[in-house]
Structure 1
């Protein structure tokens, strides 16, 4: 089970870093509404621009802590739970604007992975 948890930490951590640092200004089929980048997505959700920077900073920090949790296990559960809360918020935002369920799929999958990390890690 140890290696499964480590794999999940790497998958979630690197995926979130990719979304927030590499794919930030690129369209994907999972963006809310018809947004072409993360800032547009937050505007579609009715959130102020500053909230994108706050959420992004927190997600990047928690993703890094989740990866660091491989070597420092005390970081694993708080990082996974923090990400789970933010990912649940992502799902709620998709629901709020009545996006098709497929757009919530990545957030739901990573939420599930974070809960497995937090409770079985």
Structure 2
């Protein structure tokens, strides 16, 4: 596994642990999901998905299959985030972070895709 993939995996893993924990317990995230017109149960589910993706992608440092699966989970999560921001007509600056995270996930996925038998 290449150093580029490992560096991105560590960044994504640590970031998504932080994002997921924030979604589970932050007043700011409660307010943000209200602003996005999404139910609060979805905030909790999203937080758990993000924490799961973080753990899987960090395990992927030692196992390419987990790297690919974690990256895929992150990519799908960020596609959902991007579509949500577009749906409510958020300005481009609010969409940029999910786009960057999607790109990082796609990079890790492409560097590890051979491990998922594609």
**What's the TM-score bracket when you normalise by the shorter of the two chains?**
0.7 to 0.9
- Counterpart of 1:28 in structure 2 is none
What is the root-mean-square deviation in Å for CA atoms of aligned residues? 1.7
Q: Tell me if 1:79 matches 2:70.
A: yes
What does the per-residue CA deviation read over 1:81-121, in whole Å, with 9 as the maximum and x for residues that have no partner?
A: 11101111111111111111111111110100000100123
Which has a greater percent of helix? Answer: 2
State the alpha-carbon separation in 2 of the partners of residues 47 and 11 from structure 1.
27
Q: Can you give the 5+ residue segments of structure 1 that lack an aligned partner in the other structure?
A: 26-35
State the alpha-carbon separation in 2 of the partners of residues 66 and 83 from structure 1.
9
Q: Could you tell me the TM-score, scaled by structure 2's length? A: 0.85
Moved over 3 A (4+): none
Q: Could you tell me the TM-score, scaled by structure 1's length? A: 0.83
Q: Can you give the 5+ residue segments of structure 2 that lack an aligned partner in the other structure?
A: 113-118
- Counterpart of 2:29 in structure 1 is 38
What's the CA shift for 1:72? 2.1
Q: Retained in 1: the 8 A contact 2:20–2:49? A: no
- Counterpart of 1:32 in structure 2 is none
Q: Between Structure 1 and Structure 2, how many residues are aligned? A: 111
